[in-house]
Structure 1
Amino acid sequence: MTKQILLERGRLVVPPEPTQKATGIGIARFIVSCQSDAFSVLELAKEILLIVNHHSLKEWPSIESWMAILPVQFINSCSPELTDKEKIEHQKNWAQLTYNEKVENAAQEEKWTLSSWLSWLEPTEREWFWWSAVLFNEPLNDSHFVVEVTMLDSPFMSGALKWLFKACGAIDVISEDDI
């Protein structure tokens, strides 16, 4: 996992060469739709992933620390945290789901709490890592881009990836496989 984290860190700063082979089992592509200013949505998402990545090889911060570390725009887009009673009920329901039901549930359109989102970015839970992104040329350059991730499992739970972009201002995130 350490290797994947370090490789992702490099790709977030410098995109891989077109001939570079994926480090996971393959590449998954997503089309991200924005109202406007797709570049800003993309840059905010990359900034957030870099912050998470830099804390992935250290002790995982508390939720309070994450709230101080991550950009306010992202934090404010998340749902309020659950109470202890709500967390217990949610965990009980989650434990009863099959893997495929978890994949489907994680892809739902509802807002995520920060702690739920972060739980899928913890190094032991990661199923995908940043590969690259491409902004579209005219006429869609201000409203769409394609993001690629290298996946460690197929299918993989892409809900946290989709929420990242939505919380950064995207309107919709569609997997290439859904088209």
Structure 2
Amino acid sequence: MENKVELERIKLRSSLDSMPANPWEFNVDLGADPEGAMEKLMTIVSMIAEQSVRNWPSDDEWKAMLPDWLKREIPELSKEETDKLLAITPQQNWDSLPWEFLSWLDAIRDRGWRWWGYQQDESMATIVLHIAMFPERIDAFRELLRAVGMNITDERYIALP
């Protein structure tokens, strides 16, 4: 299994006792339900890590596997809905548009990041990903944080020599 180390870190709820070679750190406000938000995040990250890029589930399989709350937060938009959003939004603001479910799935398949760990202090947490390859699809992870109810207060990528 190609993600064995990542899955072990998820299963053990690894803390930040060490840092990966290429860490991307997020400071997040966990929202009104800190434990629930973290549980939702860990569930989805685990589901992603359990999959192999070589045997990636189809879009329909993902639709069946993922929880309804996530599909509501990252909806599948029709071409017409997407075109309308693009038409009414200035191009310089396109990065603020909501993710479309199938686009998000594509970005998760080729994510380039791996789960490393987190440290929680009441309603705040620091989450660390290991950037395993470029391009990393960090925007897809940001969208996942938003979908579970977390608010990013700070983030940083630290390229270590």
Unaligned 5+ residue runs, structure 2? 87-93
Matched residue of 1:18: which SS?
Answer: coil
Which residue does the alignment assign to 2:103? 116
Aligned identity (percent) is: 19
| Moved >4 Å (runs of 4+) | none
Cα gap change, 1:53/1:157 in structure 2, threshold over 3 Å: closer, same or farther? closer
Which residue does the alignment assign to 2:8? 10
Aligned residues: 149
What does residue range 32-111 of structure 1 map to in structure 2 within 5 Å?
Answer: 32-56=28-52, 59-83=55-79, 108-111=95-98
Structure 1 length as normaliser, TM-score?
0.69
Pairwise CA RMSD: 3.0
Which residue does the alignment assign to 1:168? 148
What does residue range 122-137 of structure 1 map to in structure 2 within 5 Å?
Answer: 122=109, 125-136=110-121
Which moves more between the two structures, 149-158 or 46-55? Answer: 149-158
Deviation for aligned residue 1:32: 1.5
Deviation for aligned residue 1:42: 1.4
Unaligned 5+ residue runs, structure 1? 91-104
Letter of the structure 1 residue corresponding to residue 114 of structure 2: F
Deviation for aligned residue 1:152: 2.2
2:36 and 2:59 map into 1 onto residues whose CA distance is 25
1:173 and 1:155 map into 2 onto residues whose CA distance is 23
